[in-house]
Amino acid sequence: MSEKKKGFWSWLGFGKKEEAEQKEIQQEQESIQPEQPVIVEPETEKSFSEKLDELEDKIEEKVDQLEDYFEEKEEKIEQFAEQVEDTIEQKVEDFKEFVEEKVEEAKAFFDDVEDKIEQTFEEQKGEQAVENLQNIATEQLDLNEQEQVTYQVEEAVAEEVAETELVNNVQDTVEESTIQDEYQEKPSQGGFFSRLIQGLIKTKQNIGSGFRNFFRGKKIDDELFEELEEQLLVADLGMPTTQKIINNLTQHATKQQLKDADLLYQQLKVELGEVLKPVAQPLVLEAKKPYVILMVGVNGVGKTTTIGKLARKFQQEGKSVMLAAGDTFRAAAVEQLQVWGERNNIPVVAQSTGSDSASVIFDAMQSAAAKGIDVLIADTAGRLQNKNNLMDELKKIVRVMKKYDETAPHEIMLTLDAGTGQNAISQAKLFNEAVGLTGITLTKLDGTAKGGVIFAIADQFNIPIRFIGVGEKIEDLRPFNAEEFIEALFSHEDEQND
């Protein structure tokens, strides 16, 4: 009934009022909606931009703080690294010095043991020693087998035993004056040239007069030159020097010489002479007082014996001489120099075994200067050329000498044993690199067939050869003369007259 009434009233127009009110409400809402984007959205965009700028500022501030922080840390790290590096270097240096000190102590200990063994050995040989000294002048040692051995430790030991035997027996036997006269004053039979010829007999078998039969009756062709090359190598001239001589021989020989074997033989003599002439420079003592000669070399080459001979030679020339026993590792070497000094009235500066070599030589330089000595000859310990620590010690000796006299040493002389052959080349090379050699003495040419090494030394290093030794007498150590040496080398048995 009511629904029918309501529909009826609506039909009559009573519902129009309510419908009109709803339309007004809808129109009001539509008028409000377009204004919403204009009011809300701009306010939102402005707030976000400000926040973004604030965030960027904060990030930049933090980045700056981090950069400052890491820069500060980096500086501290670098400072710490430098401190660590300095500490490590100091520790390494301290350890190195400690090791070197212990090595020197060990060397001194073993040298002392060796000396004691030698002393015991000498005491047991007491009765035979006198007889051996009496027969030195008449006996010749057969060194053929020793020639085939390239520098060995046995050779160094043999020399040390011989030197110790000489020292002990000169001091202990009643025949001291007889030995002194025989060793120092009595001249050898024949002149030096005759002794040089005799001393080079073994070398001449491989080179020099030994080539005479090599060339005789042979056709001169490539095969002959190949054989000649082999022969020069056998004579220990070495490959570089051999090739140089062969090349010069073929270039300088005339057509006539290339047809005549005897003429070619004479041209070979000329070429060998040309190799030696540039290094034949005798030692000239300067006016500087004292004139200091530093003797260097490996063990067993006759270095200490050569010092004694040189001292006697200078003394005979009217020079005042002093010896410095810088070989502080071998008691026998110090004792030998002291005996040399006593017998020839030559002062010797020495300290106990194991002392610092540089200190001994420095003291000797001071003493020689104070006494107005003309020539000071300083011995050094024998050292293997391939031992860096020993070569460094030699450099130290030279530095210490220059602290006293910046021009010293005035001569650094290397003693070489001709019997070591090509090993002498490596010795000359490394000693020259270490201290800069100014002269060479080549010993024991009389006991070897390897004397041809003198050509290799002259050709490769161009270091003046001051002296050569062809015997045990003092007069058997003579200034090197290239022409005289070549003449003796190429002489024949029927020409052995002085």
**380 annotated binding-site participant:** yes
**73 annotated binding-site participant:** no
> 125 — phi, psi (to 5°)?
-100, 15
**445 annotated binding-site participant:** yes
Q: Which two tokens stand for residue 436?
A: 């800069």
Tell me how far the alpha carbon of residue 157 is from its chain's centroid: 23
Tell which residue, 321, 293, 299, has the closest CA to residue 437.
293
DSSP state of 479: E
DSSP string, 290-345: SEEEEEE--TTSSHHHHHHHHHHHHHHTT--EEEE---TT-HHHHHHHHHHHHHHT
Whole-number Å distance between alpha carbons of 136 and 301: 20
> Who's near 489: CB < 8 A, 6+ residues apart?
200, 203, 204, 207, 208, 209, 272
**150 annotated binding-site participant:** no
**415 annotated binding-site participant:** no
Whole-number Å distance between alpha carbons of 383 and 259: 50
Cβ count within 10 A of residue 225:
14
Q: CA angle 450-453-459, nearest 5°? A: 165
Q: Tokens 């050699």 map to which residue?
A: 437
**328 annotated binding-site participant:** no
Taking each helix axis from N to C terminus, what angle separates 126-134 and 153-172, rounded to the nearest 10 degrees?
Answer: 90
**250 annotated binding-site participant:** no
**125 annotated binding-site participant:** no
Whole-number Å distance between alpha carbons of 59 and 55: 6
Tell me the longest C-alpha to C-alpha distance in the chain: 178
Whole-number Å distance between alpha carbons of 102 and 96: 10
With residue 468 as reference, give the H or E element that holds it: strand 465-469
**341 annotated binding-site participant:** no
Q: Which two tokens stand for residue 327?
A: 């070989």
Whole-number Å distance between alpha carbons of 297 and 381: 8
**299 annotated binding-site participant:** yes
**297 annotated binding-site participant:** yes
Whole-number Å distance between alpha carbons of 311 and 348: 11
**55 annotated binding-site participant:** no
Answer yes or no: are the C-beta atoms of 122 and 129 closer than 8 Å. yes
Tell me how far the alpha carbon of residue 120 is from its chain's centroid: 36
**439 annotated binding-site participant:** no
**381 annotated binding-site participant:** yes
**476 annotated binding-site participant:** no
> 366 — phi, psi (to 5°)?
-65, -45
Whole-number Å distance between alpha carbons of 347 and 350: 10
Tell which residue, 362, 372, 366, 394, has the closest CA to residue 381.
394
Binding annotation for GTP: 297-304, 379-383, 443-446
Binding annotation: 297-304, 379-383, 443-446
